[in-house]
Amino acid sequence: MSKNTPEGRLVHEETFPVRWGDQDAYGHVNNTVYFRFFEEARIRWFDSLTLTADGQGEGPVIVTTAATFHQELIHPATIRIEVRTGRAGNSSLENIYRVLDADDGTLYASGSAKVVWIDHDTGRPTPLPDQLRALDVESGQ
């Protein structure tokens, strides 16, 4: 599934139904829910790589995150979340997200997160696993 674009390298996709409870008093998906969408797709991606995010040993933490809202999203809908990778550092990897309509591809939101790999016992950064470092968008792999 690896495809390089100016928006990063596509590494994972997930499809989710929008739940009625994801909406707020304005009748659209609440802005905080998008970060849950990003999180769920990211954790499922890590799980698919057998990289646990259970708070034990070494694993990921988010140090920055952002979202841009392009189009109002309302229930009912089915969305596709794309997870892309950008630049990798010694202990960090840029994640880029797109929230799209699963049927027609409408872009509802885009976002990013900087993931830092840490040793949970010490709380200190540790080198990225090789399989993540290999995804650096600038590596050309």
CA–CA gap between residue 46 and residue 35 (Å, rounded): 16
Show the DSSP H helices in 1-141 as ranges: 31-48, 130-133
pTM for the model: 0.88
CA 34 to chain centre: 10
pLDDT of residue 134: 85
Positions of the chain with pLDDT under 50: 1-2, 4, 141
Supply the pLDDT for residue 64. Answer: 97
- Per the CB < 8 A criterion, the answer to whether 95 and 84 are in contact is yes
Per-residue pLDDT reduced to its tens digit, 64-86: 999 999 999 999 999 999 999 99
Q: Residue 22, exposed/middle/buried by CB under 10 A (0-12, 13-18, 19+)?
A: buried
Say what the pLDDT of residue 53 is. Answer: 67
| Type of residue at 95 | N
Q: What is the pLDDT of residue 2?
A: 44
